Every structure is written in C-alpha cells, then in structure tokens.
C-alpha cells in the first residue's frame, strides 16, 4: 500500500455509552465514565473508539433519535465533557468517531416541530409528508423496521409523515438541498472540534423512491420473521441516489485531513461494495456485517471471506465486525471457547476489525426479565427474539456488586456472571480472552503482514479454517479449529516451517512447526513462517 491512512491499520472499538461506565451514579453510563476508562482501551491496544449517539435525545431509541445534532445530552454530560474526552483520547493516541444519525431525527427536534406545525411551514419539506391515499389511509405499503406501517398520520396538519424506524423518528428528506446543507454543517461542527470521523447510521435508507411506489411482497416471508421483511425494500432501501448523498458527505469529510467515514449498511456484498463509490469517493468503509450472522462453519466462513475479497473494488479497504449493539453477543452465538477462535479470526483477517465493548472479555448475551425490557424494537415486536437489550448490558469491570459500572441501579440488568467474568479477573489470567485480545492486537501492530498484508486462503475442511497473511518477506499462517474435537493438519512437504507465536489457549509460544500441526479442541494458532 503506497500511502496508508491511519485507519488502514487501525482496530476500532465500539462503545455503547449508556453501558460502558457511569461517572455520576445515575445508573446510566456517561462521558465522564468513558474518560475514567480510556486506559482500558490503551491497555487493549485499540486505535480508535466509536461512540454510539451521545446527543440530546428523548431516548426513545436510546440516542438514535436526535433532538439536537450539535450538543451533548445532559445524561451523558456537557460539550465541555466531550471536549475533555477528545483531548484525553488524543493524548493517548486514540481517535474518536461519532455516530451520524442522518436518516431521521427525533420528532422533538426543532426542525420537525417546525415542519409539523403546518403544511405551509418553511421546513415542511425537510421531512417526508404525503397526503392520505385516495380512499384514505397511508400513502403506500411501506413498513417500519420496528414493526407496523412506516407512515404516521398527523391529524393537525392532515398529512402522513414517513418513519423508517419509530413514529418518533421521522425521516429527513434528503431530496431537499437545505437538509443536505444543514447536515453538512453538523458534520463540520464536530470535525472542527477535532472529531476523527463518523459512523453514518442507516445509510441504505437515506433516500427513498421519488414516486413512492409500493414495495413488492416477499415470497420467502414466513410467520415469525421480523415483520418488516413481509415486503422487499425495493423502493425504500439502497436507492441509486444514496450514492450522491454519501459523496456529498464524503466531500465534507475531505475538507479536513485524515478523517474517516464509515457507514452502517445491511446489504449483500455485491450491493455493499458499491458504497465505496465509483472512484472510492464514497464511504471509506461500508461496514461488513457478514460475520454477525454467519453459520460458524469453516467452509461457509472461507466462502464468505473469498466472496468479500473478490467483490471489493480496487483500493477499497476491507473491514470486519463481530458484534454490535443490534446483534446477539458473539460469545453466546458460538460459545465461550469458540469466542476466542472468533477473536483470532477477527483480528487476523485483512481489513479494519471492529470490536464491540465487552466482547474483549467474552461478555455473554444477558437474558432480560420482561419487566426490565427497554429496547423499543422488543417492546413493539415482542416474543420474536429480536430484542437488543441483551447485548447492551453494563460493562463488567470487576467482581463488586455493581461490577464497577455504577454506584446506582444499572439501567439494564448486570450479567449474573460478572463476579467471575470481568476485566479485573481476566487481566491477571494469561489464558483469558482479554489477554488473548491484547496479544492479538499487539501482534497485529508489530507485524504489518497481519494488518495490511495479503489474504491467501489455504484450507477449509471440516472444522478447520486455514489462511495466510503475507507482506514482503513476512508470512503468517492462521489455523483455526472451529470444533470441539482436536484436529491434525498435514501440510505439503516444505509448505510450512516456522514458529508458533500465539495460541488461543495461551501456552504454546515458540513451538516449532514443520509439516504438521496439532490443534486442540476450540484452538486457534498463529504461526510465523521463517
């Protein structure tokens, strides 16, 4: 790579601010709390942190409903607290990425309040308003991602407005240049403060069909599927004009040196990679969520890595995500032992890895009692297992009664396992998943081949996934056993000769490897070839 940017080699760490660390004792995490724990990120070795939204919000969707794009919610602190976080992070060499929720605002945002006031309002067209269908009822069949229709009737002004998510999250109208200009100013506001980039939310929804055509029925839809999948989002997602919006945002990002634009997109690879832009003038990194739902099978994983690598445009930098605030925790999806193998996969693949807070200690999905459910998605669409609270529970720092998260009552239940499963315990344990993460990240930092080298597939049979990473003379073999039985790997004569530099079990450093390699159950190893 001729001129790599900082993010080509970076490991990104996602903080869900409500759940990371509570600095003021109200049971909800905050910016002061994050400042108190920046050294955890330094210890882990990550390069950048991304904060889920911290802006003023009624918190209907826990911050993804923004009521003011240029301030901090008092629950999280003040702008001065945020500036202090930026300074403290930068002092430690950590970059800071913010969430950009540009598809929709809160219905409490002054823009929407003005828009809603009357059909003649100057900001009416900042949101998406339509007359009722000729016979009455919503203008078309579009559905909300959070269940039910995507149109809400506003009796006072006699029209419907569109909401891709909650009714209190009205969609902004990106066809209106004033909206684009206002959002560009929001981006500049934070970049001028020193923020290092954005993770743009809900990118595939940013613009919808101009003719408001009905979405077609989804023939594969079955009872029990998420209700919004009853139709195919042909006219509501991944519209061609989305690329123009992204290019506009990217221009603003590029007004400032070294800033990063990531985007959240749930799309198959062929559609996802279009968001790099025709001349790489789109997102630097369209999030790759394939691992979030991939069956944990060697052939399947190898296949998806190959398809992704092949689909990438020339010069487009890959990235991988193993967990986030919308999906079940990896440790519960694949089991505690495999979570270490998964960490090794994430941190040895080519491209930027994103690590979700708590996954570095193998936090599990927590079962939420019905009376403590907070996620609006679960409350709207109960019983289908779609709830997101279980992956958003407080960070488990230590074995104390509140896990070192708060002095108050945690906003979501703490994992009952926190007395054993916590940062403090794992720090002292050479074989812990926390130690493994630290060592993997350090290895990646020490060896450019692991960060930016080529990916070369080797084997994917049974439970065995094998690949190489290579740059110039540096070559590594990564061998992962995805199963609970030991496996023996036989290499072709002379193919592999080197030294084992890391095992998920933490105890094989320096072992010489030639021609064959024995992997224990649920073991992954990295071998440096000589």
Residues making contact with ligand NOJ (CB under 6 A): 61, 64, 101, 165, 201-202, 264, 325-326
What residues have CB less than 8 Å from 469, skipping those under 6 apart? 348, 350, 449, 450, 453, 454, 455, 456, 475, 476, 478
Given the residues 99, 171, 201, 528, select the one marked as catalytic.
201
CA distances from 424 to 299, 396, 397, 405 (A): 37, 9, 6, 12
Give burial (CB, 10 Å; 0-12/13-18/19+) of 520: middle
* 168 Cβ contact list (under 8 Å, min separation 6): 58, 60, 61, 65, 106, 107, 108
Residue 57 Cβ vs ligand NOJ, minimum distance, rounded to whole Å: 11
* Beta-sheet strands, E only, within 303-422: 319-321, 352-356
Nearer of residues 202 and 450 to ligand NOJ, judged by Cβ: 202
User: Which is nearer to ligand NOJ, 235 or 377 (by Cβ)?
Assistant: 377
Residue 308 contacts residue 288 (beta carbons within 8 Å): yes
255 labelled catalytic: yes
Which residue, 24 or 326, has its beta carbon nearer to ligand NOJ? Answer: 326
Least distance from ligand NOJ to the Cβ atom of residue 166, Å:
8
For the chain, the 3-state helix, strand and coil shares in percent, each to the nearest 5, are 30, 20, 50
Give the span between the Cα atoms of 517 and 479, in whole angstroms.
Answer: 9
Q: Which is nearer to ligand NOJ, 165 or 320 (CB)?
A: 165
Of the candidates 178, 210, 255, 281, the residue annotated as catalytic is: 255
Chain length of the chain = 530
CA dihedral for 445, 447, 450, 454, sign (positive or negative): positive
Give the nearest distance from C-beta 324 to ligand NOJ in angstroms. Answer: 7
Residue 28 near residue 75, CB atoms below 8 Å? yes
Q: How far is the CB of 169 from ligand NOJ (least distance, A)?
A: 7
235 vs 289 by CB, closer to ligand NOJ? 289
CB of 156 to ligand NOJ, least distance (A): 26
Which residues are known to be catalytic? 201, 255
């Amino acid at each position: 790579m001729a001129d790599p940017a900082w993010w080509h080699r970076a490991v990104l760490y996602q903080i869900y601010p409500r759940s990371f660390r509570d600095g003021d004792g109200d049971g909800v995490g905050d910016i002061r709390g994050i400042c108190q724990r920046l050294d955890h990120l330094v210890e882990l070795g990550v390069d950048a942190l991304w904060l889920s939204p911290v802006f003023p919000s009624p918190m209907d969707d826990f911050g993804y409903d923004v009521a003011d794009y240029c301030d901090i919610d008092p629950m999280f602190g003040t702008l001065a607290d945020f500036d202090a976080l930026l300074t403290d992070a930068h002092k430690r060499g950590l970059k800071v990425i913010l969430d950009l929720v540009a598809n929709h605002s809160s219905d409490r945002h002054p823009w929407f309040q003005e828009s809603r006031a009357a059909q003649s309002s100057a900001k009416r067209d900042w949101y998406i308003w339509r007359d009722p269908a000729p016979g009455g009822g919503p203008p078309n069949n579009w559905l909300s991602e959070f269940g039910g229709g995507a149109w809400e009737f506003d009796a006072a002004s006699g029209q419907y407005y569109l909401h891709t998510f909650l009714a209190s999250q009205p969609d902004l109208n990106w066809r209106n240049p004033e909206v684009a200009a206002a959002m560009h100013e929001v981006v500049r506001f934070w970049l001028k403060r020193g923020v290092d980039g954005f993770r743009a939310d809900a990118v595939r929804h940013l613009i919808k069909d101009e003719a408001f055509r009905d979405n077609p029925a989804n023939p594969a839809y079955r009872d029990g599927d998420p209700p919004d999948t009853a139709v195919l989002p042909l006219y509501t997602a991944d519209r061609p004009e989305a690329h123009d919006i992204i290019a506009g945002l990217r221009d603003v990002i590029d007004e400032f040196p070294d800033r990063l634009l990531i985007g959240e997109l749930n799309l198959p690879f062929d559609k996802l990679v279009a968001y790099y832009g025709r001349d790489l003038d789109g997102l630097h990194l369209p999030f790759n969520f394939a691992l979030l739902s991939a069956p944990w099978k060697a052939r399947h994983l190898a296949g998806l890595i190959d398809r992704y690598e092949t689909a990438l445009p020339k010069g487009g930098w890959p990235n991988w995500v193993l967990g986030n605030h919308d999906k079940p925790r990896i440790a519960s999806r694949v089991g505690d032992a495999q979570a270490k193998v998964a960490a090794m996969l994430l941190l040895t693949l080519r491209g930027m890895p994103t690590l979700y807070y708590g996954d570095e200690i193998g936090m599990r999905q927590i079962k939420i009692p019905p009376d403590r459910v907070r996620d609006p998605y679960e409350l709207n669409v109960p019983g289908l297992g779609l709830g997101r609270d279980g992956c958003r529970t407080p960070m488990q720092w230590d074995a104390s009664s509140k896990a070192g998260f708060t002095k108050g009552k945690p906003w979501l239940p703490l994992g009952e396992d926190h007395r054993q499963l916590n940062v403090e315990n794992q720090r002292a344990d050479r074989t812990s998943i926390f130690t493994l993460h630290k060592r993997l990240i350090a290895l990646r930092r020490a060896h450019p081949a692991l960060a930016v080298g080529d990916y070369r597939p080797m084997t994917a049979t049974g439970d065995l996934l094998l690949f190489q990473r290579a740059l110039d003379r540096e070559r590594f073999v990564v061998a992962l056993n995805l199963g609970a039985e030991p496996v023996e790997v036989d290499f072709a004569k002379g193919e592999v000769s080197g030294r084992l530099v890391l095992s998920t079990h933490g105890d094989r450093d320096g072992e010489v490897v030639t021609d064959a390699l024995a992997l224990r159950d649920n073991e992954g190893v990295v071998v440096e070839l000589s």
